[in-house]
Amino acid sequence: ILNVEQSPQSLHVQEGDSTNFTCSFPSSNFYALHWYRWETAKSPEALFVMTLNGDEKKKGRISATLNTKEGYSYLYIKGSQPEDSATYLCAPVPNGNKLVFGAGTILRVKS
Amino acid sequence: EPEVTQTPSHQVTQMGQEVILRCVPISNHLYFYWYRQILGQKVEFLVSFYNNEISEKSEIFDDQFSVERPDGSNFTLKIRSTKLEDSAMYFCASGSRGTYEQYFGPGTRLTVT
């Protein structure tokens, strides 16, 4: 069973703060890594799919990096806004197309 | 923007009853998936489906579960005889050829009493 760890479990920040979370996974049998943003009662929203070691992706104020050799990915949010409040899920793909999810990081941004 | 839809949003059923959860994937997608999240636990993979057959399934996906694409637009998950432990949020996802991307629906909350 692939063990995917996300830290921290939850995070409370002030509006304007920058923040980052970690996803760690076994570095063997790696095909891709997904990041999703999930608000309650809505569909998980795809943020990034990363496949190559050293990949860096950016979408507005959110960016992510990938290190497949050591088995981790970081998600950064610059200048957090209340609307960034959500659960952020990472999901490596060890083989095929099956996503293996971490438990998520719950972000709450206070205005 | 195209999206995956799921119906119903909430289903309550009695133990032992059959349920069918319905999904309409994004129209040009070829890969279809079901995942579920039991309250307080991680989202977990159930099954993937491509070219009208199951391509991979997890240990959870036993003989009580089945999937079907009955009419080229819907993708269904059937649980033949529900158990209390089947209570969860069930997510459908779809993806297109040549990418790893999977687009999720909003989920169906299944409550087995």
Q: What is the pLDDT of residues A27-74, one digit of tens each?
A: 877 889 999 999 988 999 999 999 999 999 999 999 999 999 999 999
Judged against a pLDDT cut of 90, whether residue A83 lies above it is answered with yes
Give the distance from residue B6's alpha carbon to the nearest chain A alpha carbon, in angstroms. 10
Residues β-bridged to residue A36: A46, A89
What is the total residue count of chain B? 113
| Angstrom distance (rounded) from CA A52 to CA A20 | 20
Give the closest-approach CA distance of B67 to chain A in angstroms.
Answer: 16
**Per-residue pLDDT at B88:** 98
Q: Which of B93, B86, B76, B95 is nearest to B39 (CA)?
A: B86
Alpha-carbon gap, residue A93 to B99, rounded angstroms: 12
Determine the residue among A34, A68, A98, A106 to mutate to test chain B binding: the one whose Cβ has the most chain B Cβ atoms within 10 Å.
Answer: A98
DSSP alpha helices (H): ranges in A1-111? Answer: none
Pull the structure tokens for residue B93. Answer: 């996802």
**Which has the closest alpha carbon to A80: A59, A110, A58, A56?**
A110
> Residues 16 to 35 of A: which have CB under 8 A from any B CB?
31-32, 34
pLDDT single digits (tens) B43-93: 999 999 999 999 999 999 999 999 999 888 899 999 999 999 999 999 999
pLDDT at B72: 80
Residues 53-92 of A with CB under 8 A from B: 89, 91
**A8 preceded by a cis bond (ω within 30 of 0):** yes
Contact present, A95 and A101 (Cβ < 8 Å): no
Q: Are the beta carbons of B92 and A36 closer than 8 angstroms?
A: no
The phi and psi torsions of A81 (rounded to 5 degrees) equal -120, 155
Q: Which of A48-52, A94-98, B16-20 has the highest mean pLDDT?
A: B16-20
| Gap between the Cα atoms of B6 and B22, Å rounded | 6
Tokens of A40: 């309650």
The total of other beta-carbon atoms located within 10 Å of residue B15's CB is: 13
Pair A14, A110: CB distance under 8 Å: yes
